[in-house]
Chains A and B, each alone.
Chain A
Amino acid sequence: MNLHQLFSSIEKADPDIYDRLSSRRKAIRSFSGIGGKLALAAVPLALGGLLNKAYGQSAPSDVTGVLQYALTLEYLEAAFYTKAVASGIIPAGAPAGALTTIRDHENQHVAFLTAVIKQLGATPVSKPAFDFTAGGHFANVFTNYDVLLAVAQTFEDTGVRAYKGQAGVLMTNNTVLTAALNIHSVEARHASHIRQMRRARTNDAAIKPWITGKNPGGINDDAVQKSYNGEEVTTQAGIDLTAFVSSNAASESFDEPLTYNDVIAIVQPFIKQ
C-alpha cells in the first residue's frame, strides 16, 4: 500500500465547523496557553479545525493533514521501538531503560495525535504494516544492536526534521502548533540520547548529540544519508554563521527541516507494499 493512499481515507469535514469555530474563538484562544498539559477530553470539538478539507497526493496543506502525516511517522517509531525492546538484544540496564522510555513516548504521541485528529472531526489514518528491514536492506535490524541503534537514530533525526518542516502549516491553530512543538523537542531529546548511546559503544568522538554537517555519525548507507542531506547549512536567513563560530558549530547550531516528499522517500521503504 502506498503512503499517499493511506492518507486518502480521511472523512469529509464537519460542515458546521466554521460556525462553531467563530463562536468559540475566545474559548479556543484560552487553550493555547495550556500547551502540553492540555487535557484532551476537554478540548472542544471545533478546536481550530478550520481546514478539514480532503487532500490528495501532495504535501499536507492543512492542520489535519499535518497531523495525519505526523501520526504515520509516530506509528512507525512506536512499532519500531516496540519490536526493539522485545528483540532480546538490548543490554539490560540503561540501554533497555532508555529504549523503553522512548517507546512509551512514541506510543503516547500516537494516542495524542489520534485523539486530536478525532477532535478535529477526521478519521485517523490506519497503522501501516511495517518492514523494518526495509526490504532486506537492514536485514539484521533486530538481531544486531548497532544496526538497531543506527536505524533508531535515523528515525529520530528524521522525525525532528519532519515536524519542523510542517510548523508553518500549523500556524492557523495555536494549540496544535504548540502541541506539535512540544512533541518535536521530545524527538530531539531522543535523538540526542540515541546518539550518545552510539558514541559510548563506538568511542567515536565524531558522533555527537547534535548533527555535524550532513554526517550521519559513522553510518555509511545511502538510504540513511538521505536523512542528513541538507543539514550542512551554515548560513541562516542570509547571515553567515561561520563569521562567529567554526563551520562545524555553525551547522550543528541549527537543525534543518525536511519536506514532506523527502520524508516520504525516506520512510517508504519501511512500509510494506
Chain B
Amino acid sequence: MKNDNSIRLQPELPFEEAAHKKTVSRKKFLSVLGIGGLGLTAIASCNRDDDGMTGTVPPGAIDLGKGDTGILNYAYALEQLEAAFYTRVAQSPFSGITATETAFLTDIRDHEVAHREFFKKALGAAAIPALNVNFSAIDFGKRDSVLATAKAFEDLGVAAYNGAGALIDDKNYLLLAGKIVSVEARHAACIRDLISNGSFADNTIIDANGMDQAKAPADVLMIAQSFLASKLWGGNLPKS
C-alpha cells in the first residue's frame, strides 16, 4: 500500500537518507522536524546536565518538572497530544473511512481521553496546563496522512513509556505506566495492521531480540514538540 503522505518520525534518520525515501517529501520531513529553535536548543542542551542539577526553564516554555511528578507530566503531555489528535480525527473523519476504522479510531480516542484525564486528575495542582497543538503537517482528510501520523504517535508512545519505566521511583506509578503502555502497544499494532495487515510488529520497529524500542524523554520530546504550539521543557526530568 502506498502512503504518499506518510510521516516517519525518526530524528536519528539522516536527512539525506530520508530525502531518498519515496514516501517522504523532503519538505514534509523538514517540517516535521521544524521545531521551534528555542525548544530544541533547550532540550538538546539540558540533556547533558548532571543529575540533580536544576536547569533554568527557557522563557515561554512549560517545565514538566522533576522526579516522578515530572515523568507523570511527561506522560500527561503525550496523552494530551494523542487525545487531541484522535478527537480531531473523530470530528472530521478522513475520506472513505470504513465502519471498522471508525470503530477502532473512536475507541482509541476514548482510551487516550481516559489516559489524559487520569493524569490530569492524578497530578492535581502539579499538572502542566492544557497544551496547544500544531497539526498543520497532518491532512485530516486523507487516510494515509491520518494513519501514518497515528502510527508514529503510537509507536512513539510505546517507546516513551518503555523508556520512562526505569526513570520512575514509585512502584505504583511504574505499574500504572505498565497498564497504559500495553494498551498503547495494542493501538500501535492495530493502526499498523490498518495500514498494512501483518505489520503489527515488523522489523521496522522490533529488533533482533524480539523487542520494542525504549526512548529517552529528550528524544521523545524533540519529536512531540513538532506537533505542539506550546513549548515543553524536560530539562529537570530524571536521567536515570
* Chain A positions near chain B (C-beta within 8 angstroms): 29, 32-33, 35-38, 40, 94, 97-98, 101-102, 104-109, 111-112, 160, 163-164, 167-168, 171, 174-175, 177-179, 181-193, 196, 205, 208-210, 236-237, 239, 241, 243-246, 249-250, 252-257
CB nearest neighbor in A for B213: A36
> Can you report 24 A-B residue pairs in the complex whose CB atoms are below 8 A from each other?
A32-B166, A33-B240, A35-B211, A36-B162, A36-B207, A94-B197, A105-B201, A160-B182, A164-B179, A171-B174, A178-B163, A185-B162, A186-B185, A189-B185, A189-B201, A189-B212, A192-B193, A193-B193, A209-B186, A236-B176, A236-B179, A241-B114, A241-B118, A255-B182
Residue from A97, A98, A187, A210 in contact with B111 in the complex, judged by beta carbons closer than 8 Å: A210
Shortest CB-to-CB span from A208 to chain B, Å, is: 7
Which residues of chain A come closer than 8 Å to B214, judged between CB atoms?
35-36, 178, 181-182
Give B204-224 as 1s and 0s: 1 = Cβ < 8 Å from A's Cβ atoms: 001111111110100000000
Give B residues with C-beta under 8 Å from A.
Answer: 100, 103-104, 107, 110-111, 113-115, 117-118, 121-122, 158, 161-163, 165-166, 171-172, 174-176, 178-190, 193, 197-198, 200-202, 206-214, 216, 240
Do the beta carbons of B186 and A210 come within 8 Å of each other? Answer: yes
A182 near B211: Cβ-Cβ < 8 Å = yes
B115: chain A residues at CB < 8 Å are: 253
9 tightest Cβ-Cβ pairs between the two chains A and B: A108-B210, A35-B214, A249-B110, A105-B210, A192-B189, A36-B211, A188-B185, A174-B166, A188-B182
| B186, closest chain A residue (CB) | A192
B104 cross-chain contacts in A, Cβ below 8 A: 208-209
Query: B182 contacts A249, CB within 8 Å?
Result: no
- Asked if A253 contacts B207 (CB within 8 A), the reply is no
Are B178's CB and A257's CB within 8 A? Answer: yes
Asked if A112 meets B200 with Cβ closer than 8 Å, knowing A193-B193, A210-B183, A245-B113, the reply is no
CA distance A189 to B207 in the complex (A): 14
Query: A175–B190 Cα gap in the complex (Å)?
Result: 28
Residue from the set B166, B172, B207 with the largest chain A CB neighbour count within 10 Å: B166
Assembly CA distance A25 to B184 (angstroms): 32
**Residues of B close to A239: CB separation below 8 A:** 118, 121-122
Q: State A32–B111 Cα separation when bound (angstroms).
A: 30
For chain A, what secondary structure do more than half of its interface residues adopt (helix, strand, loop), or is it mixed?
A: helix
| B211 and A241 contact, CB distance less than 8 A | no
Chain B residues with CB under 8 Å of A256's CB are 179
Contact B182 A104, beta carbon cutoff 8 Å:
no
CA distance A185 to B193 in the complex (A): 16
Given the interface pairs A185-B185, A192-B185, the reply to whether A112 lies near B210 with Cβ below 8 Å is: yes
A237 and B176: CB pair below 8 A?
yes
Residue B172 contacts which of A104, A184, A237 (CB distance < 8 angstroms)?
A: A237
Q: Are B172 and A193 in contact (CB under 8 A)?
A: no
Chain B residues whose C-beta falls within 8 Å of the C-beta of A178 in the assembled complex: 162-163, 165-166, 214
